[in-house]
Amino acid sequence: MKVGVIADIHSNQTAFRACVDYMVNAGCEEFLLLGDFISDTAGARQTMELLYELMEQFPCHVLRGNREEYMIEQRKIREKEEEEKFWLANSASGNLLYTYRQLTERDLDFFESLPITFRYEKEGYPAFTCCHGSPVNTRELLQLDSDRTKEVLEEIDTDYLLAAHTHFPGISRYQGKTYMNTGSCGIAIGDPGYAHAIILESGQNEWKPEFLRIPYDSNQVILDIFTSGLYDMAPWFLNNNLHILLTGTDLTPELVNLAAKLQEENDMGAKRWPHIEEKYFAQAADSLKIPDYTFLRYIRPAVKEDTGKILELYHSMIGGAAGWNEYYPGIDTIESDLSRNALFVMENEDGELLASISIDADEAVDSLKCWNQTLLPGAELARLCIRKEYQNKKLARMMMAYAMNVLRKQGKRSVHILVHEGHEVAMRAYMHLGYEKVGECSLYDMRFVCMERAL
Ligand SMILES: [Fe+2]
């Protein structure tokens, strides 16, 4: 028998849907859903609908996480009219307010009806203790192998403990007992573009976990954050969430704590959370190197009508370090990229084309011997181009992140890039994004450095 375990969806309906589809296909007959269904990305409503649908179709065992508790608490605050504790449209609480507004009374009643822990038992197999944080507290972080985790394993009356909340998947053992953490379905740490979850398969008197890493359409999740209005309700908090979705690096506690500290230092503690001014979030994000991702909303697949503007952008780079000239890249390159849906552009509100990037299809590059053969299939990203006045605004990083998400969705496992020999700025930028130099080559009468990274 197979059981699907999903936790920390965080309103990411796209990742949730990808996990459910995978698990149903894999033959899962029951589901364990371990809390933090909502907040942090845009799809709270859709996530709840999908959850209810799943509960109608399969036996589901559901508990609540800290996010659901925040929502229950806010309803009580509003009932008691404790206005100073109402969530506001700012980076301290706008993300929660957006989520709260997407929920119905039925959702909140449902959250209130959920336990924070339960025992999952199937005849003939060992029982599980399930929870979001710990069996006594939804906000407790049970890291693998920590002393607290060992203590909890000693306290429970089952041989298995299943939890989430840390967003770090894994397994550890202590005195004959096993602890498993599902990781996060919607906002995985350290693994952008993938949803983490577990399938438990019953063996002879034991449960065997399969830790899943499922690709989903992360660019859609990012776009939804902008088009839903969520981004504008909590810009710096969302820049932080976009940073996790794009890079896997989670700086949430650092950002929130630093912004609160700056507010306290400057206003002598006069104002309390969530009354934190946006400028302190901006300062905190700046010192933590969390970029302003506003421009991400302008990236989209290119269409035929963009051809003239793209050509003009290419021509503005002639004579630069990439070694481009009036013939390459030209209109035929653009047409070929468009015919493969492999060209992406960033265009601002004024219709100005700021950047472009392509997924190349070049056998001469694919067949180079330097690429890591254990990371196939790979794909080549090429012709990354940022309008001169917009350089040093992290647009290159955003274009790369977007294109890498497209490749993940296509099932690619690595990215290849050729950098024109001597283009030191590009080399350094790619190395900063995790690319490694794996070889050199001569193609089209030019020398290139070959760079690669796993997806
Ligand atoms: Fe959580």
* Residue 271 alpha carbon to ligand 1 centre in Å: 27
Q: How confident is the model at residue 225 (pLDDT cuts 50, 70, 90)?
A: very high
**Over residues 106-125, mean pLDDT:** 96
In 3D space, the residue among 348, 341, 332 whose CA is nearest the CA of residue 395 turns out to be 348
Inter-residue contact 229 to 45 (CB < 8 Å): no
Tokens of 233: 């309700």
**CB neighbourhood size of 109 (10 A):** 11
Question: Is the torsion defined by CA of 3, 8, 12, 13 positive or negative?
Answer: positive
Between the CA of residue 178 and those of 4, 164, 167, 199, 209, what are the distances in Å? Answer: 18, 14, 18, 15, 11
How far apart (Å, rounded) are the C-alpha atoms in residues 266 and 260?
Answer: 10
In 3D space, the residue among 128, 102, 114 whose CA is nearest the CA of residue 38 turns out to be 102
Q: Estimate to the nearest angstrom the gap between the alpha carbon of 207 and the chain centroid.
A: 29
Question: Is the torsion defined by CA of 210, 21, 182, 111 positive or negative?
Answer: negative
Per-residue pLDDT reduced to its tens digit, 31-46:
999 999 999 999 999 9
* Residue 139 alpha carbon to ligand 1 centre in Å: 6
Which 8-state DSSP code applies to residue 347? E
Q: Are β-strands 160-163 and 128-131 bridged in parallel, bridged antiparallel, or unpaired?
A: parallel
DSSP string, 2-13: EEEEE---TT-H
Q: Which residue bears the tokens 């653009």?
A: 334
Domains of the chain, by residue range, sit at: 2-215, 219-295, 297-454
**Over residues 291-308, mean pLDDT:** 95
* Residue 66 alpha carbon to ligand 1 centre in Å: 5
**Over residues 413-417, mean pLDDT:** 96
How far apart (Å, rounded) are the C-alpha atoms in residues 271 and 388?
Answer: 42
Inter-residue contact 435 to 382 (CB < 8 Å): no
CB under 5 Å of ion ligand 1: residues: 36, 65-66, 165
Inter-residue contact 292 to 395 (CB < 8 Å): no
Q: Estimate to the nearest angstrom the gap between the alpha carbon of 309 and the chain centroid.
A: 31
Which 8-state DSSP code applies to residue 290? -
How far apart (Å, rounded) are the C-alpha atoms in residues 46 and 15?
Answer: 12
- The pLDDT of residue 203 is 86
Q: How confident is the model at residue 360 (pLDDT cuts 50, 70, 90)?
A: very high
- The pLDDT of residue 269 is 61
* Residue 1 alpha carbon to ligand 1 centre in Å: 28
| Gap between the terminal Cα atoms of the chain | 32
**Over residues 399-410, mean pLDDT:** 94
In 295-398, where do the E strands start and end?
299-301, 343-347, 353-360, 378-386
* Residue 309 alpha carbon to ligand 1 centre in Å: 45
Looking at the domain 2-215, which fold is it? Purple Acid Phosphatase; chain A, domain 2 (3.60.21)
Q: Would you say the pTM of this structure is higher than 0.85? A: yes
The set of residues, in sequence order, having a beta carbon less than 8 Å from that of 232 and lying 6+ positions away, is none
* Residue 35 alpha carbon to ligand 1 centre in Å: 7
- The pLDDT of residue 393 is 85
In 3D space, the residue among 187, 11, 6, 220 whose CA is nearest the CA of residue 100 turns out to be 11
- The pLDDT of residue 266 is 86
Q: Which residue has the higher pLDDT, 268 or 213?
A: 213
Q: How confident is the model at residue 128 (pLDDT cuts 50, 70, 90)?
A: very high
Range scoring the smallest mean pLDDT among 87-91, 103-107, 208-212, 422-426: 422-426
* Residue 141 alpha carbon to ligand 1 centre in Å: 9
Mean pLDDT of the chain: 95
* Residue 196 alpha carbon to ligand 1 centre in Å: 14
* Residue 452 alpha carbon to ligand 1 centre in Å: 34
* Residue 65 alpha carbon to ligand 1 centre in Å: 6
* Residue 38 alpha carbon to ligand 1 centre in Å: 10
- The pLDDT of residue 33 is 98
In 3D space, the residue among 17, 37, 176, 178 whose CA is nearest the CA of residue 110 turns out to be 37
- The pLDDT of residue 268 is 66
- The pLDDT of residue 204 is 83
* Residue 431 alpha carbon to ligand 1 centre in Å: 33
Q: How confident is the model at residue 385 (pLDDT cuts 50, 70, 90)?
A: very high
Per-residue pLDDT reduced to its tens digit, 315-336:
999 988 888 999 999 999 999 9
- The pLDDT of residue 320 is 87
Class of domain 297-454: alpha beta
* Residue 276 alpha carbon to ligand 1 centre in Å: 23
What are residue 402's phi and psi, to 5 degrees? Answer: -60, -50
CA atoms within 13 A on the CB side of 86: 10
Per-residue pLDDT reduced to its tens digit, 253-294:
999 999 999 998 887 666 678 889 999 999 999 999 999 999
* Residue 414 alpha carbon to ligand 1 centre in Å: 31
Q: How confident is the model at residue 345 (pLDDT cuts 50, 70, 90)?
A: very high
How far apart (Å, rounded) are the C-alpha atoms in residues 359 and 54?
Answer: 37
**Over residues 157-163, mean pLDDT:** 97
